[in-house]
């Protein structure tokens, strides 16, 4: 059995990997260039919050994100910022989602810590979503 890779700062050593899935209010709208721009936005926000993106896939009707976040910061803050800022930026850059939606995302999202599944297995699952 391999040891998980750990992150650390001055006060804590951790290994907190989260699989997060969220959906737009109307589906499917993450197409025609929106998906590429969304990935850019989400990666930038993750870097700002010092979250490690392990895997990211944007489907026409949902987003899969496997990431590691400092537990002192809280994964809910990362998701909140990703959804709020990406909604605002995408609606300002792409006119068709704005005309159909007041906000891009639903309030809900799915979150799991991976339960005992190795991060490599979750990463592979997310990578294969486009093939399904």
Q: What is the CA radius of gyration of the chain?
A: 15
Q: Is 125 a catalytic residue?
A: yes
> Cα angle vertex 23, ends 28, 50, to 5°?
125
Write the DSSP string, 103-122: SSEEEEEEEE--TT--HHHH
Task: Give 12's contacts (C-beta < 8 A, 6+ positions apart).
Answer: 70, 71, 72
Q: Of 6, 23, 109, 125, which is the active-site residue?
A: 125
Please identify every residue annotated as catalytic: 125
């Amino acid at each position: 059995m391999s040891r998980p890779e750990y992150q650390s700062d001055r006060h804590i050593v951790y290994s907190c990997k989260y699989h997060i899935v969220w959906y737009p209010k109307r589906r499917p709208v993450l197409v025609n260039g929106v998906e590429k721009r969304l990935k850019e936005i989400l990666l930038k926000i993750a870097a700002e919050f010092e979250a490690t993106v392990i895997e990211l896939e944007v489907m026409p009707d949902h987003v899969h994100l496997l990431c590691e976040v400092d537990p002192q910061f809280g994964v809910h803050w990362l998701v909140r910022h990703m959804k709020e800022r990406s909604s605002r930026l995408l609606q300002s850059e792409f006119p068709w989602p704005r005309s159909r939606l007041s906000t891009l995302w639903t309030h809900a999202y799915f979150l799991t810590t991976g339960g005992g599944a190795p991060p490599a297995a979750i990463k592979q699952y997310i990578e294969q979503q486009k093939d399904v």
